[in-house]
Amino acid sequence: MAVESTEKTIYFVSLGCPKNRVDSEVMLGVAKREGYTLVHEPEGADTIVVNTCGFIGEAKKESIDTIFEMAELKKTGELRKLVVSGCLSQRYPDALASDMPEVDHFLGSSDMLKLADVLRGDAERLLVGNPADWVVRAKDPRVLTQSHSSAYVKLAEGCNRTCAFCTIPEFRGKQRSRPAADILREARQLAKQGVVELCLISQDTVAYGRDLPASERTPLAKLVADLADVPGIRWVRVFYLYPETLDEALIDVLANHPNVVKYVDMPLQHAADAMLRRMKRGHGIGRQKRVVERLRTAIPGLTFRTAFIVGHPGETDAEFQELCDFVTWAEFERMGVFRYSDEESAKSFDLGDKVPEKIAAKRARTLMALQRKIARRAQKKLVGTDIDVLVEGASEDHELVLKGRHAGQAPEIDGHVYLSGGDAKPGEIRRVTITQASDYDLVGELHEATLAKGRRRVGLKVLA
């Protein structure tokens, strides 16, 4: 007689930004605490959680498609309970509940810990609360899902900016900074788990602490330095800096602290004064140029990542050309380009002079083609140099090839260094001589390592 398994299994789909990933990791920690086992294929799960993104049209479509895809497993697999969480359900709770009878429970963007009630079977269907009710804490359960040598750390939740194109404050709430002591406590916990790289994230990192009482504020520069001083932490990486006049103390930490990587992530969004005004960014191209020049001057060897939006209402051909000229001038090592998404609750929705989708798509392709040439030149300059690389493990595509990242490569978005000529363990930071470069990836030779059995030398043709 077959014995029915009593193992409780769960599968997670985490969509959207790194902040969502942290939320998913907290929910995974909740599930583990409730006795659930994570499975890596949805067909083997009796519970599935889809943590959604609701920021722009493409992300919403991906979330909805994923929900329906997972719901099909109720017909063909072992799935008994489907849970939808995150920004999409925070933004459209009633509509989703009405249109998706296949979904058993909805959690919002601040309801991660309510998953425990869902898993225990004593929860209501709609559990979407106030987005201002929660921010992650060091004591919350969390299971890392990326490389165990690297982890995202949330400094704050929500945002106080009023950018015209953005709806994030609507479903993430106003900014809520974590106390510095709690962030440091989490960093020490992560270091004990073997994490060597901390990636600091929030919606508006440069504004960290401004919402706290004056007596409880810690300057961002001090927090970054304190995190970099945590025993076991080798790299600290800062994301989502807003292009205002940066604190000189923060620039000094970025330039001189040995454990803070010379990497700045600063979404600039556009470069034409008229467009920046329409976007309600609160500054113009003059400030942006001054910020770029100041960072380049103060931080030799800086890797600068930014992002731009094309096709925003009112964007003219001349303004798009201003953006291209700015990108040519600034020579950003890393850049993302997004087509404007016309969100009904954003201020930009009410603006006239909508840009046709075909024109926006063409502008995105043009800007990325320009950036690809800039990135290629920057990559080629690294050939023949020696750099430190954080080893992540075997390549997914070539099991006999190791991969890692150098300080100018952030997790998941900036490419890899493929390692040849030796062996290394995940989590090690090793010296590497760069031998080849493509647009986004590099190949390098490990220093001071004996050629491992089965490990082979690689060329870019192997990586194609």
Distance of alpha carbon 260 from its chain centroid, rounded?
Answer: 18
Q: Does any domain span residue 213?
A: yes
CA dist 47 and 30 (Å) reads 13
The residues, any chain, with a CB within 8 Å of residue 363's CB and separated by 6 or more, are 310, 311, 315, 320
Residues 62 and 33 in one domain: yes
Residues 12 and 109 in one domain: yes
Residues 223 and 354 in one domain: yes
> Nearest CA to 306 among 367, 250, 358?
367
CA dist 68 and 117 (Å) reads 23
Q: Does any domain span residue 140?
A: no
Q: Which residues of 101-118 are buried (b: 16+ CB within 10 A; e: fewer)?
A: eebbbbbbbbbbbbbbbb
CATH at 262:
3.80.30.20
Q: Does any domain span residue 141?
A: no
Residues 367 and 408 in one domain: no
User: Domain boundary residue among 380, 401, 425?
Assistant: 380
CATH at 401:
2.40.50.140
Residues 297 and 251 in one domain: yes
* E strands in 296-383: 303-310, 334-339
> Nearest CA to 14 among 81, 88, 72?
88
10 Å CB burial of residue 245 (0-12, 13-18, 19+) is exposed
Residues 361 and 306 in one domain: yes
Q: How many domains does the chain have?
A: 3
Q: Does any domain span residue 137?
A: no
Which two structure tokens, joined as six digits, stand for 288?
A: 């942006």
Residues 349 and 414 in one domain: no
Q: Does any domain span residue 145?
A: no
CA angle 216, 219, 224 (to 5 degrees): 120
Q: Does any domain span residue 329?
A: yes
The domain in which residue 32 lies consists of 8-132
CA dist 411 and 279 (Å) reads 29
User: Domain boundary residue among 330, 363, 380?
Assistant: 380
Residues 369 and 399 in one domain: no
Residues 347 and 329 in one domain: yes
Q: Does any domain span residue 283?
A: yes
CATH at 39:
3.40.50.12160
Residues 192 and 221 in one domain: yes
CA dist 321 and 305 (Å) reads 20
The total of other beta-carbon atoms located within 10 Å of residue 394's CB is 13
User: Domain boundary residue among 132, 159, 185?
Assistant: 132
Residues 180 and 228 in one domain: yes
Residues 247 and 355 in one domain: yes
Which two structure tokens, joined as six digits, stand for 415?
A: 């490419």
pTM for this model (two decimals): 0.90
Q: Does any domain span residue 412?
A: yes
pLDDT tens, the chain, 464 aa long: 334 557 899 999 999 888 889 999 999 999 999 999 999 899 989 999 999 988 788 888 999 999 999 999 988 878 999 999 999 999 999 999 999 999 999 999 999 999 999 999 889 999 999 988 888 999 999 999 877 899 999 999 999 999 999 988 888 889 999 999 999 999 999 999 999 999 999 999 999 999 999 999 999 999 999 999 999 999 999 999 998 878 899 999 999 999 999 999 999 999 999 999 999 998 899 999 999 999 999 999 999 999 999 999 999 999 999 999 999 999 999 999 999 999 888 899 999 999 999 999 999 999 999 999 999 999 999 999 999 999 998 887 776 688 999 999 999 899 999 998 778 888 999 999 999 999 889 999 998 743 333 344 444 343 43
